[in-house]
Chain A
Amino acid sequence: MPAISRDEVAHLARLARLAVTDEELDVFAGQLDVILRSVASVGEVAADDIPPTSHAVPLTNVFRADEVRPGLNQQQALSGAPEAEDGRFRVPRILGEEQ
């Protein structure tokens, strides 16, 4: 039995906002199954009492004085936009038909 089915891969693609094709799904389903079976070996390690590490360097919160510093101006911020209008990012409608 595969670690992951074609339908599950299709679901993952939807969650990840990837409009994959049927041909891609056929290929990805097999490849993701091989990868997931291989990485599942982390489960062989007895680590119940081991604390997780999210970061190699211990992180502490850092504060700075709340002072205005130079940032991007409007023109710079919009310079890479696919489309801009009236000094703003122009985006497609955000609600679907059914909403």
Chain B
Amino acid sequence: MGDLTRLTAAELAAKVHAREVTAVEVAQAHLDRIAAVDGRVHAFLHVDHEGALASARAVDEALDAGQAPASPLAGVPLALKDVFTTRDMPTTCGSKMLEGWVPPYDATVTRRLREAGVVILGKTNMDEFAMGSSTENSAYGPTRNPWDLDRIPGGSGGGSSAALAAFEAPLAIGTDTGGSIRQPGAVTGTVGAKPTYGGVSRYGLVAFSSSLDQGGPCGRTVLDTALLHEVIAGYDPLDSTSIDAPVPPVVAAAREGAAGDLAGVRVGVVREFAGEGYQPGVLAAFHAAVEQLRALGAEVVEVSCPNFTYALPAYYLIAPSECSSNLARFDAMRYGLRVGDDGSRSAEEVMALTREAGFGPEVKRRIMIGTYALSSGYYDAYYGQAQKVRTLISRDFAAAFERVDVLVSPTTPTTAFRIGERADDPMAMYLSDLCTIPSNLAGNASMSVPCGLAEEDGLPVGLQIMAPAMQDHRMYRVAAAYEVARDAGAGRLSDRVPEVGA
């Protein structure tokens, strides 16, 4: 039957639903692949062999009984970022604070996956509490980029992106607060979409920055990503910011786009995202992608979004502020780690000792930055001003989307950097999120699709496509059209990854 791990999610689903292979065989093939390569990649923090095979068996039994598949992805394996709660697996958020914690409830995303018959293989590594751009901030050690094991797979969702690139799973779930789905997608040659804020429920997604956090789908192809998007998206009364509206028709858009015609689509190139700090090979691949869009019939214009320059500083005030409040819940009393409770120390002392021992340096830095930005005397100059900049960024988007249907830019200014290269320089690390942050602040939809390899290092580059809120389907159409054109000559880009450890 060939190597099942090389197939797309859509191909696997078709084979399972046609009874050409069983869901158990598909799950076992991916579990075998994980066993073979994850010692080197370290994409997973937890692999649930028995649970995965049991849910695959349930899919097979339902099909045996003549039932229709529970969803278009029933029987397809998936890697779940370890920030979504799971009743049957630990949920650590990459932190010592939650080591071994098994939540008493499932996240809505987890529940929807299970109901759709998607087979959850395990939980993927991440920067601690999703704070980082390299997965080096995980308390359980870094994940390695399958394109070059000495390099980072992006972050915070580096476990999910690496699992895709290493063929350990055809689908993955990420979360994107400042780029944590899109930047890992870009540097591993995989697809990642941040849906419109409110499009996918945050219930059971451990909070980092609640006004920015957004779960979303990851895959190796645009269609697979769209299929997963429709499984996890939709209104959830358990999330107060969930949008009560129909899910944008992203699968239909991906299929339409695959026909390869972008006539009538207006594409805006963001002028501010180029120049100093951008790797030449990244810009070259990006410009070639823009020319490809033009060749597909799109009308390409340059668009200026002047306040995007201030998105990075605004984000690094707003996100830490919300983080300092959200992470106050880790108080050593109700769940998670407790340190120093020797009978003599007070709750306050135990709390401070626990948080000192349980949090890593980046989490501590952000908690302190947020505490500073929210304190009286600094609030107006920092947090208040950042919120005003947030308004201006939304206005830039609104003005741009008057003129164009989608905006494009490189997803991140460079290809994957080496592990350790930026670890001691927080500001250098933060620059990874330069192009992705505006869509988090404004809440609109945005995705990354691979656009070739940089000429100087042969590493993947991402094309970011941004669409207005609840117009997620627009970006999928453009991404799918581009993907078909990109692969017309050289074949599927994700297949060009070197064999891990070879």
A contact set with B: CB distance below 8 Å: 4, 8-9, 12-21, 24, 27-28, 31-32, 34-36, 38-45, 47, 50-57, 59, 62, 64, 72, 76-77, 79-83, 89, 91-96
Contacts and interface: CB of A to CB of B under 8 A. Distances in A.
Contact of B313 (A38, A59, A96): A38
B372 A12 contact: yes
B105 interface: yes
Given A42-B385, A89-B334, A50 B346 contact: no
A53 B355 contact: no
Contacts of B333: 81-82, 89, 91
B353 to A, nearest CB: 5
Nearest to B385: A42
Contact of B104 (A14, A32, A41, A79): A79
Contacts of B384: 52
A17 B369 contact: no
Given A28-B365, A32-B368, A81-B335, A41 B310 contact: yes
Determine the main DSSP class of B at the interface with A. Answer: helix
Contacts of A81: 333-335
Contact residues on B (Cβ < 8 Å of other chain), bracket:
35 or more
Nearest to A64: B237
B104 A47 contact: no
A55 B102 CA distance: 31
B335 A35 contact: no
Contacts of A93: 346-347
23 contacts: A14-B352, A17-B331, A18-B367, A19-B353, A24-B364, A28-B361, A40-B381, A40-B382, A47-B388, A47-B389, A51-B391, A53-B390, A53-B391, A56-B197, A56-B444, A57-B469, A72-B104, A80-B335, A82-B338, A83-B341, A92-B346, A93-B347, A96-B348
A53 B394 contact: yes
Contact of A20 (B307, B364, B389, B391): B364
A56 B445 CA distance: 12
Determine the main DSSP class of A at the interface with B. Answer: loop
Contact of A53 (B105, B336, B387): B387
B337 interface: yes
A27 B361 CA distance: 10
Given A56-B441, A92-B350, A20 B382 contact: no
Nearest to B362: A31
A57 B197 contact: yes
Contacts of A95: 346
Contacts of B152: none
Contacts of A18: 352, 355-356, 359, 364, 367-368
B241 A35 contact: no
B502 interface: no
Nearest to B338: A82
Contacts of A54: 211, 387
Nearest to A39: B313
A47 B201 CA distance: 33
B355 A19 contact: yes
A32 to B, nearest CB: 6
Contacts of B441: 53, 56
A83 B341 CA distance: 10
B392 interface: yes
